[in-house]
Amino acid sequence: MHERIIYATYDEMLAELLRLHLERHGVPCWLRSMRVGGFHGITFGPLGEIRLMTSRPYAAKGRRLIEQVVLRGALSPVPGNVGQPE
C-alpha cells in the first residue's frame, strides 16, 4: 500500500487533533515530522512541517473529513463558539 499525505501543517496540536478525529471515524493514519525543534529550534519551513499520512484506500475519506472539520472550525482549541469579536 502506498502512503498519501492528506494534510500538512506546522501546528503540532492541530495535527494531533486531526489524527485523533480521523481515527475516531475509521481512517487509520499517522504523523510524520522532520522537526528538530528541540535541538535547533526549527519549527517552520520544510524541516518544521508535520504531515498527516494514510494509505491510499483511506485518502479520499480522510481529506473529506479534514475539510469538513476545518470549514466548521470544529477543532478549535478555544472552548465555546468562536465568532466575530463583540
Cα–Cα distance, 10 to 46 (Å, whole number): 10
Kind of pairing, strands 50-55 and 3-9?
A: antiparallel
H helix and E strand count, the chain = 3, 3
pLDDT per position as a tens digit, 52-76: 999 999 999 999 999 998 888 776 5
Cα–Cα distance, 63 to 56 (Å, whole number): 11
End-to-end Cα separation, the chain, in angstroms: 50
Does pTM top 0.75 for this prediction? no
pLDDT per position as a tens digit, 4-25: 999 998 888 899 999 999 999 9
Pick the CATH number of 3-72 from 2.60.120, 2.20.25, 3.30.70, 1.10.730: 3.30.70
Query: Residue ranges of the domains in the chain?
Result: 3-72
